[in-house]
Copies of this chain bind each other. A is one copy, B any other.
Amino acid sequence: MSAVAGSLVLVPNTLDLGTEAAVALPEVLPQAVIERAARLTHWVVENAKSARAFLKRVDALVPLAQPLQTLSIVELPRPRKGASEQDDAPALRALLAPAVSGHDIGLLSEAGLPAVADPGARLVQVAHGLGLRVEPMSGPSALLLALSASGLNGQSFAFVGYLPVDAGARAARIRELDTLSRRSSQTQIAIETPYRNAALLAALVQHLQPGTQLSVACGLTLPDGWCRTMPVQAWRTTACTLPDRYPAVFCWLA
């Protein structure tokens, strides 16, 4: 690889996607991230519209190196059904061509850190295959903020992503993860599409053991964000409203 190759820069985003709260960037992003984002001219993003909205917020604090309309902003390809992981390599290598020829490329998700509970990991993997430098920048991860605020075991934990939507399969998976947590003292972390958060909470409260500690974090880093940890039996007698547009993270330890 040429010594002048660019980096793939992993740029964190705020956690206010889809909510009415507009968090000021300096609430959650280091100044160095805002400045670096303002200098990047090539982007690969989860969603072009939200990426432009992010860059407008950056521009209001640190003027962009060149006008927004002239930046290269390309969306990550959506995984095709039935395609093997390797099939996307040529398309991803093409997205990284500007880095090979010397331009730093920013990778941006709609919220939080790229490639964690979000698309982009395959692009990062292909970047490593090309010998490109991959540079992650400090920013908010809803998963880890929720874990740290939960008070549950932070020495051993697993992120299990989304649980099944089907009620029967979901109940079985919750019981399985409760057992796994008990056996290995491992905190389990799950997320859900916001409009299904209340349903997931109800399922967790119903199917986890009464003594399991359950933590719900809602809208962390937002002005009215909160986190609450109680045994499941206490959740069973507590009225709790989860707003259907706020991101939430669920952690439990049996």
Question: How big is chain A's contact interface, by range?
Answer: 35 or more
Using CB atoms, name the residue of chain B closest to A140: B138
Chain A positions 28-63 with a Cβ under 8 Å from a chain B Cβ: 28-32
Q: Are A136 and B145 in contact (CB under 8 A)?
A: yes
B interface footprint on A160-188 (CB within 8 Å = 1, 0 otherwise): 11000000000000000000000000100
B interface footprint on A138-168 (CB within 8 Å = 1, 0 otherwise): 1111011111111111111111110000000
B interface footprint on A210-252 (CB within 8 Å = 1, 0 otherwise): 0001010000110000111110000000000000000000000
Indicate which residue in B28, B138, B145 contacts A221 across the interface (CB closer than 8 Å): B138
Using CB atoms, name the residue of chain B closest to A215: B128
Q: Are A135 and B149 in contact (CB under 8 A)?
A: yes
Contact residues in B for A140 (Cβ distance below 8 Å): 138-139
Contact residues in B for A156 (Cβ distance below 8 Å): 158-161
* A102 CB–B CB distance under 8 Å: no
* A198 CB–B CB distance under 8 Å: no
Contact residues in B for A213 (Cβ distance below 8 Å): 125
B interface footprint on A63-86 (CB within 8 Å = 1, 0 otherwise): 000000000000000000000000
* A17 CB–B CB distance under 8 Å: no
Indicate which residue in B115, B149, B158 contacts A154 across the interface (CB closer than 8 Å): B115
Q: Are A138 and B10 in contact (CB under 8 A)?
A: no
Contact residues in B for A227 (Cβ distance below 8 Å): 134, 136
What are 9 A-B interface contacts by the 8 Å CB criterion?
A10-B145, A30-B31, A113-B144, A115-B148, A121-B154, A134-B151, A136-B148, A138-B139, A158-B159
Name A's B-contacting residues (CB within 8 A): 10, 24, 26-32, 113-118, 120-128, 133-141, 143-161, 186, 213, 215, 220-221, 226-230
Besides A121-B154, A125-B151, 19 other A-B contacts (C-beta < 8 A): A26-B31, A29-B138, A30-B31, A114-B148, A116-B148, A121-B150, A121-B152, A124-B149, A124-B151, A126-B151, A128-B228, A134-B149, A134-B227, A136-B149, A141-B141, A144-B144, A155-B161, A157-B159, A158-B159
